Structure 1
Amino acid sequence: MAVTKTDVALASALADAAGAAIRPYFRAEHGVEAKADLSPVTLADRAAEEAMRKLLIAEAPMDGIIGEELGERPGTSGRTWVLDPIDGTRAFIAGRPIFGTLIALIEDGWPLLGIIDQPIAKERWLGVMGRPTLFNGAPASTRRCRDLKQAILGTTSPALFGDDQLHAFEHLDGAVMSTVLGGDCYNYGCVASGWMDVVVEAGLKLHDFAALVPVVEGAGGRMCDWQGDPLHAGSSGEVIAAGDPARIDDILEALACRGH
């Protein structure tokens, strides 16, 4: 099923609703708690997801919903909205405006539409498969990278890698010009806009990466797993984003050393 103007308008309205819920809590009392997996959650996370779900139930009641904080609501349309109200909660609670709201529309497990929204800086990337990615309404484009030695690499934290994944990442780290830590979903927006070249992460869940795929690929980049396969609902959570698709094989070669 093709993405319609109504879908895009609804996705944008979801981002607006999430941003309105998040902003009052930024650099203010946000009621941080630890979840069962010890990751942080705040009142802003919950308020933003509740606002988005309320809108979806009203506007697209046949569609399913998968949210990081409030779980899954099955649908009957074959389409599912995947929500991460605050990707980068640690940055949020530290007062750093490099977190984002992630909104994806998937069908049969494949991402069709994605939004990365930074509600404090009011920066928004909108990607729809088969269409150019927009950054605040203007076309976004990745940049060419002739060699990994010229690349800026990003990852949220090496602490999120397993031992063999860390070994592989360190090998890639040694092959690039520089590496930036932190950033969560914001890094992928930076790749889409041509400010960074590569992001490599592991342990991501569907709500962490579904929205990123249409954004990066619509800007001219490529996303895949650590085996070079396209990302979908069944992917392992090992993720690569490359602004220049020509560098994917180089990245895969560097990561292939895990455990050696």
Structure 2
Amino acid sequence: MSLPLDPQRLLSIASGLLDGTHDRFVAGVGAPSAIQKGPDDFATAVDLELERRLSAELFEQTGIPVHGEEFGGPDLNEGPVWVLDPIDGTFNYSAGLPSAGTLLALLDDGVPVLGLTWLPLIQQRFTATVGGPIHLNGVAVPRLEERSLRDSMIGFGAFNIASRGRTPGLYRVRILEELSRVSSRIRMHGATGIDLAYTASGVLGGCVVFGHQAWDNAAGALLVEAAGGVVTDLAGEPWTIESKSVVAASPGAHEELLNVISALGDPADFLEGRVR
């Protein structure tokens, strides 16, 4: 590990800086789109402001550069790098829905070593270092125990049935359909950080994430692993920052989730015109 400071010291610094953005985050709720990034994706002026501010403060106080969602940054696979999503759940945030927050992870040669998920609108702060435990508002959370899918709420990523990307829309719908046969308690929060943090704390038994960006997934993946959960991709391969999806869950529930997903076969078979 090539970190310039002790991990606990870095965690303390990062926590203080995220705390410092609380008032601005709360005051900005309802901010409209400032930059359109795609058909269903945009950034608000608050996204840009918070990323600039936190990137400067983190580098000034830790000497570690930042790779953010809005402005990019250094290679995530080389040395220590902070990876930042200033507002996860931007659409929720802009609409006034409180399921939004700030995600921050510290990577060392591409491997998450610290994870922070701040949910200012509901007063929750999740932190973890490698090996755990995770903390919620400074209090250690019990490690995850084995549980069944049938007795669990499951977070589910967004989908558009017309999507033809890495994970076709029809494939996502089929996962949802088959999953609902086992667990009728499916939740769609519209914020990856919430799905992963709540999986780590045991509120959810697991979650399925179709996004692949490190700024969305790194902090939460570390939280789940630090809590004793299992984190893979849709194919069951161990999750890394290069993974194209995330399946995270408590022991037991994770195996059941993968069984549901693997029974559907190759996602490419669900592209329009190829569905069996």
TM-score normalised to structure 2 length: 0.84
Corresponding residue number in structure 2 for 1:251: 257
CA distance, structure 1, for counterparts of residue 105 and residue 76 of structure 2: 15
2:241 pairs with 1:239: no
Corresponding residue number in structure 2 for 1:133: 134
Corresponding residue number in structure 2 for 1:182: 189
Structure 1 residues 10 and 22: alpha-carbon distance in aligned structure 2, compared to 1, 3 A threshold = same
Deviations 1:179-209 (A, max 9, x none): 1112411122222222211110212311110
CA distance, structure 1, for counterparts of residue 56 and residue 49 of structure 2: 11
AA matched with 2:242: G
Structure 1 residues 75 and 84: alpha-carbon distance in aligned structure 2, compared to 1, 3 A threshold = closer
Check the 8 A contact 1:21/1:47 in 2, yes or no.
no
AA matched with 2:259: E
Gaps of 5+ in 2: 270-275
DSSP 3-state at the match of 1:233:
coil
Q: 1:19, CA displacement in angstroms?
A: 2.6
DSSP 3-state at the match of 1:235:
coil
Check the 8 A contact 1:88/1:100 in 2, yes or no.
yes
CA distance, structure 2, for counterparts of residue 156 and residue 183 of structure 1: 7
Corresponding residue number in structure 1 for 2:15: 12
CA distance, structure 2, for counterparts of residue 107 and residue 45 of structure 1: 25
Larger mean Cα displacement after TM superposition, 138-147 or 206-215: 138-147
Structure 1 residues 146 and 234: alpha-carbon distance in aligned structure 2, compared to 1, 3 A threshold = closer
Check the 8 A contact 1:64/1:77 in 2, yes or no.
no
Larger mean Cα displacement after TM superposition, 85-94 or 143-152: 143-152
Corresponding residue number in structure 2 for 1:46: 48
Gaps of 5+ in 1: none
Work out the percentage of aligned pairs sharing the same amino acid: 27
Corresponding residue number in structure 2 for 1:150: 151
AA matched with 2:260: A
AA matched with 1:204: H
Corresponding residue number in structure 1 for 2:272: none
CA distance, structure 2, for counterparts of residue 137 and residue 97 of structure 1: 21
Q: 1:94, CA displacement in angstroms?
A: 1.3
DSSP 3-state at the match of 1:150:
coil
2:167 pairs with 1:164: no
CA distance, structure 2, for counterparts of residue 53 and residue 169 of structure 1: 37
Check the 8 A contact 2:128/2:222 in 1, yes or no.
yes
DSSP 3-state at the match of 1:216:
helix
Q: 1:76, CA displacement in angstroms?
A: 11
Q: 1:164, CA displacement in angstroms?
A: 2.5
Check the 8 A contact 1:127/1:216 in 2, yes or no.
no
Structure 1 residues 164 and 121: alpha-carbon distance in aligned structure 2, compared to 1, 3 A threshold = closer
Corresponding residue number in structure 2 for 1:25: 28
2:91 pairs with 1:85: no
AA matched with 1:9: S
AA matched with 1:181: M
DSSP 3-state at the match of 2:211:
coil
DSSP 3-state at the match of 2:122:
coil
Larger mean Cα displacement after TM superposition, 169-178 or 138-147: 138-147
Larger mean Cα displacement after TM superposition, 96-105 or 18-27: 18-27
CA distance, structure 2, for counterparts of residue 23 and residue 225 of structure 1: 33
Aligned-pair Cα RMSD in Å: 2.3
CA distance, structure 1, for counterparts of residue 246 and residue 152 of structure 2: 17
